[in-house]
Structure 1
Amino acid sequence: MSAELTLGAEEELHLIDLDSWHLSASAPHLLNQLASESYAAELQRTTVETNSRVVQSLGELRDELVRLRRGVMDVAGPLGVGIAAVGTAPRSEISDFELTPSQRFGAMQEKYRLLVDEQLICGFQVHVGVSDRDLAIQLAQRVAEHLPTLLALSASSPFWNGHDTGYASVRSLVWQRWPSAGATGPLASAAEYDELIADLIATGVISDDGMAYFDIRPSAHAPTLELRVCDALPLVDDAVLIAGLFRATVRAAEIDIENGVPLQPRRAPVQRAALWQAARTGLSSELLSAGPRPRPIQAGEAVRSLIESLRPVLHEFGEYEVVRDLAEQALARGNSSDRQRAAFARRQSLDDVMRLVVDETESLGAPPRRA
């Protein structure tokens, strides 16, 4: 392998007041007690970001996710604050937004206004080690067709501003409003990518390469290819599943490049349609199949087809059975969006949904405390 294919992850966690079930603007206080190399502030004072170490295996990544969540829980719990790894906190309201004090964030709020003021969302980013930036660009072009399936598995944001939106991932729609979000379009090299970033900065619409909010990109701060399309996931198992699938798609794409398999890119509107479909229905209905001319396919079939296509590389990592079993469990219980709606349907209570997502996030792989 010419790519290193190490793993890392960043989780964004909502902070929840356990008395009111509303967002808690306690991030600055918590971050003062947490290790700076592992935790970071976000735009909103109601969110903490965790940053894993670089690891080699899914088992090690699971341990990192558990360690980092537990670190936040240890300092937040005594304050009556819980954590929720979901795209949107079901009880959150736009009025809950409080900006994290910093010169950069203040400038962003002045420039982007509503986009910042409604940034009450959390995502899950996966990093796969690819130090050759030209290779990273080529890999990104090839794995893009699989991003809708990963989004559907991760979808955890049906509620927005206290209401059911009808979408499985409203977070992805909110995120796509940023001017530098979405797909890069066709690129053949790191030089072309750097030129694209330079052109965007020159327009004045973004200020630096850290604002290149593409669905998949060479990381702005590490020698990795970074997946950015997914909602935050409350269950650690589901986060591990996303990481395993993403790394396998990267390795499969690398093999295709080594074997001279020609790239068959999707047209940008088709990719956008596939991501919209994943955001709309998640795992509950149909997704669009992989390939340049996708067609509707049942979500479960799309997930299983992807795993079978990746079987050789998953065996190469020694992770086929783990990923297959995690995927079957995810399909059986539904994604977080499905589970949230089921919790709400019992008593029409958003508090019940909040309790569910906090319990799942804080279960750290054990069965949640309360349904």
Structure 2
Amino acid sequence: MTLRIGAEEEFHLLDARSGLLVSRARAVLDRLPGHGFGPEFRQCVVESNSGVHETLDGLRADLASSRRRLHAAAAQLGLAPVAAGTVPLARLGSRDEVTDAPRYRHMADEYRRVADEQLICSAQVHVDVPDRDTAVRAMCRVSPWLAPLLALSASSPFWLGGDTGYASWRTMVWQRWPTAGPAGCYSGAADYDAALEELIGSGVITDPGMVYYDVRPSAHQSTLELRICDACPRVETVVLVAGLFRALVHDACVRPARRVGPSCGGHHEWLRAAAWRAARSGLEGPLVDPVTRRAVPARVALAGMLARLRPALEASGDWETVHELLDRALADGSAARRLRRAAESGGLRAAVRLLITETRGDTLPVSASAPTGPADPLSSTTRCPRSDDVEAEEARGARTAGEARKEAPTTR
């Protein structure tokens, strides 16, 4: 059984010279021929939608092509698209910078400061499921394994010119929405849809599209949608996450038929804590192991996940690709770590430059030159030394990585 996959990516739009976030989505979209791109809640973000693919190679080629087209369109306007949970240099915008659509205007008026600070981007992955009942039941089974995927994607250590001490600050911003976070367990589609109707009836949300669970059945397609991840500077990270998520969905669909493994029984109280841990540490600190629910080095948690999913990965023909990409991800560390290293040597503009080149697909050293141009109004914060917490976290990450090499089987 090969389940088809697709991905949605969100991109910040930056002024290519200053590195500052700008609200120019409409101008960029006007220069993009054909379909596959669209607006988002704020005008500083453009969304890209892939086609549907059976192979990870096909998905990778599609995403890389979309990024090239988006970069070319943005470059004509002196802009650069960036795939990351947050960008280092930004200011809170006004409500005039919300995309002009009735639904978005209502959200801006209803959620106020939460909506004002929606300067974040994510990557979402869709995996085919046979029907909506299967999607709802699979949602429960995959949920314990989503925090490691967040750790792989973590790319948002900076917020409004400062270091947050987190690997994914986007997660902290996102979780303030009333329906964001772990999904519950439901007996089937009817049970799930009834819960959605209750939420809409409460007046807190207006439609099913505002159910922002970490994973959810798509409202418009026969897919299960992963929503927990940061946008990823490297295409390869999106492909890795997609491969692992497809294997999780395959595993969730097959295991009930084989009657292998106990049901979670609806006990997901620890999932928000696991997501917080992944957002705080990324790949450089501990994660909550989905089986033992104890803190373990990230390498150990991911090695266990890989071993569990090997049959599903082999069934989809993804084993070698996911193996290779996971090895590289663990060797290179999270995007959050790479960005901090760039900022240490060249300030926040160097981190911006790294984001631009990785999103575009270039290979440049971390110390690559930063954007040049007029003085940055945030220049007083463009050199952002690490906080004591960040240094302590990286030191602990180095120790736990050493422990992991002793404890964990190699991913090769």
Give unpaired runs (5+ residues) of structure 1: none
Q: Does 2:366 correspond to 1:367? A: no
Confirm or deny: 8 A CA contact 2:3 2:316 kept in the other structure: no
**How far does residue 244 in structure 1 lie from its aligned partner after superposition?**
0.3
**Aligned position for 1:306:** 305
Question: Aligned-residue CA RMSD in angstroms?
Answer: 1.5
SS of the equivalent of 2:249 reads helix
Look at both structures and tell me which one has the larger radius of gyration over its CA atoms. 2
Distance in 1, matches of 2:191 and 2:183, equals 10
Out of 26, 29, 36, the position equivalent to 1:28 is: 26
Q: Does 2:87 correspond to 1:89? A: yes
Q: Specify the code of the residue in structure 2 equivalent to 1:65.
A: L
Distance in 2, matches of 1:353 and 1:96, equals 25
Using a 3 Å threshold, how does the CA distance of structure 1 residues 84 and 137 change in structure 2: closer, same or farther? Answer: same
Deviations 1:309-330 (A, max 9, x none): 1111111112111101100100
Alignment of 1:1-371 (within 5 A): 1=1, 5-35=3-33, 37-95=35-93, 98-261=97-260, 262-265=262-265, 267-291=267-291, 293-347=292-346, 349-363=347-361, 366-368=362-364, 371=368
Using a 3 Å threshold, how does the CA distance of structure 1 residues 155 and 108 change in structure 2: closer, same or farther? Answer: same
Q: Which moved more, 1:140-149 or 1:100-109?
A: 100-109
Distance in 1, matches of 2:195 and 2:266, equals 20
Q: Which moved more, 1:81-90 or 1:307-316?
A: 307-316
**How far does residue 222 in structure 1 lie from its aligned partner after superposition?**
1.4
**How far does residue 96 in structure 1 lie from its aligned partner after superposition?**
7.3
**How far does residue 181 in structure 1 lie from its aligned partner after superposition?**
1.0
SS of the equivalent of 2:147 reads helix
Confirm or deny: 8 A CA contact 1:145 1:266 kept in the other structure: no
**How far does residue 266 in structure 1 lie from its aligned partner after superposition?**
6.5
Distance in 2, matches of 1:95 and 1:51, equals 26
**How far does residue 79 in structure 1 lie from its aligned partner after superposition?**
1.1
Confirm or deny: 8 A CA contact 2:139 2:183 kept in the other structure: no
Confirm or deny: 8 A CA contact 1:343 1:356 kept in the other structure: yes
**How far does residue 268 in structure 1 lie from its aligned partner after superposition?**
3.1
Distance in 2, matches of 1:78 and 1:184, equals 42
SS of the equivalent of 1:94 reads coil
Confirm or deny: 8 A CA contact 2:126 2:223 kept in the other structure: yes
Distance in 1, matches of 2:349 and 2:333, equals 20
Confirm or deny: 8 A CA contact 1:30 1:75 kept in the other structure: yes
Q: Specify the code of the residue in structure 2 equivalent to 1:290.
A: P
Confirm or deny: 8 A CA contact 1:343 1:352 kept in the other structure: yes
**How far does residue 36 in structure 1 lie from its aligned partner after superposition?**
6.1
**Percent of residue pairs bearing the same amino acid type:** 44
Distance in 1, matches of 2:133 and 2:215, equals 14
**How far does residue 265 in structure 1 lie from its aligned partner after superposition?**
4.7
Using a 3 Å threshold, how does the CA distance of structure 1 residues 109 and 96 change in structure 2: closer, same or farther? Answer: closer
Deviations 1:7-31 (A, max 9, x none): 0000000111011110121101111
Distance in 2, matches of 1:183 and 1:120, equals 21
SS of the equivalent of 2:328 reads helix
Distance in 1, matches of 2:224 and 2:177, equals 21
Confirm or deny: 8 A CA contact 1:169 1:280 kept in the other structure: yes
Q: How many residues matched?
A: 365
Give unpaired runs (5+ residues) of structure 2: 369-412
SS of the equivalent of 1:226 reads strand
**Aligned position for 2:408:** none
Deviations 1:27-78 (A, max 9, x none): 0111123246311111111110000111111000001101111121121111
TM-score (norm. length: structure 1): 0.95
SS of the equivalent of 1:255 reads helix
SS of the equivalent of 2:270 reads helix
Q: Specify the code of the residue in structure 1 equivalent to 2:286.
A: E
SS of the equivalent of 1:124 reads strand
Q: Specify the code of the residue in structure 2 equivalent to 1:28.
A: R
Confirm or deny: 8 A CA contact 2:179 2:212 kept in the other structure: yes
Distance in 2, matches of 1:37 and 1:260, equals 43
Q: Which moved more, 1:251-260 or 1:29-38?
A: 29-38
